[in-house]
């Protein structure tokens, strides 16, 4: 039923357009009917009145805001000249230079234990038969920095887990990005050297 009503109403649109077209084409050039003239002049007057009202309202709004907000503007200007207490500069942490920091340390190990867990084998023989394989030079550099009283730690840096299941626009990684594992030397409670043997 509703469809029929809509169809009936829609059918009236072309009919009205045709009637209006006929009126325009048959009317003397440059003249409009009296009714249309009256209508247009009335609308113009109404628009002018509305415009005046809008302008007046705008002026009042600006005045009102200026009265309300001028103290804030002055306070902001004064605050710029006030002496601000200096923030204490962050003391640089020596651990900043390393991937593994004290918070990442999990357990102490000996060099022998670490090496026993770092045997890498490859069926194609594409890795040297040394602890940590191709990374052996880095491991040796770490051991060379060991001093008496130092402790060797195993540590893990957690990666970032991207949203999963991800929205359409994200790449759908399942594993964390940027996870790292390695060993670090701790001296007097601070990491002073590290060696990564596994990372993303």
Q: Which residues bind another protein (CB under 8 A)?
A: 120, 122-124, 126-128, 133-135, 137-138, 159, 162, 165, 168-175, 177, 179-181, 195-200
Least distance CB 191 / another protein (angstroms): 16
Least distance CB 187 / another protein (angstroms): 20
Nearer to another protein, 32 or 111 (CB): 111
Nearer to another protein, 110 or 117 (CB): 117
Q: Do 179 and 158 meet the contact criterion of CB atoms below 8 Å apart?
A: yes
Nearer to another protein, 94 or 137 (CB): 137
Name the residue among 114, 107, 102, 104 with its Cα closest to residue 186.
102
Least distance CB 180 / another protein (angstroms): 8
Q: Do 105 and 157 meet the contact criterion of CB atoms below 8 Å apart?
A: no
Q: Do 98 and 184 meet the contact criterion of CB atoms below 8 Å apart?
A: yes
Give strand ranges (E) for the chain.
105-108, 151-157, 180-187, 190-199
Given 3-state DSSP classes, what are the helix, strand and coil percentages for the chain, each rounded to the nearest 5?
50, 15, 35
Nearer to another protein, 28 or 123 (CB): 123
Least distance CB 164 / another protein (angstroms): 10
């Amino acid at each position: 039923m509703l469809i029929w009503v809509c169809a009936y109403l829609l059918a009236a649109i072309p009919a009205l357009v045709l009637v209006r077209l006929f009126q325009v084409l048959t009317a003397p050039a440059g003249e409009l009917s009296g009714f249309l003239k009256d209508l247009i002049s009335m609308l113009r007057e109404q628009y002018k009145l509305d415009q005046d009202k809008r302008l007046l309202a705008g002026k009042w709004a600006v005045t009102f805001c200026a009265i309300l907000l001028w103290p804030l503007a002055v306070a902001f200007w004064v605050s710029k000249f006030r002496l601000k207490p200096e923030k204490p500069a962050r003391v640089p942490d020596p651990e900043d230079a390393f991937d593994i920091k004290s918070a990442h340390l999990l357990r102490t190990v000996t060099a022998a234990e670490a090496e026993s867990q770092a045997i890498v084998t490859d069926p194609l023989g594409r890795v040297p038969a040394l602890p940590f394989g191709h990374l052996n030079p880095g491991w040796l550099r770490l051991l060379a920095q060991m001093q008496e009283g130092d402790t060797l730690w195993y540590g893990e840096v957690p990666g970032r887990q991207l949203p999963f299941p991800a929205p359409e626009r994200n790449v759908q990684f399942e594993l964390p990005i940027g996870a790292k594992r390695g060993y670090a030397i701790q001296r007097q409670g601070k990491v002073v050297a590290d060696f990564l043997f596994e990372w993303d």
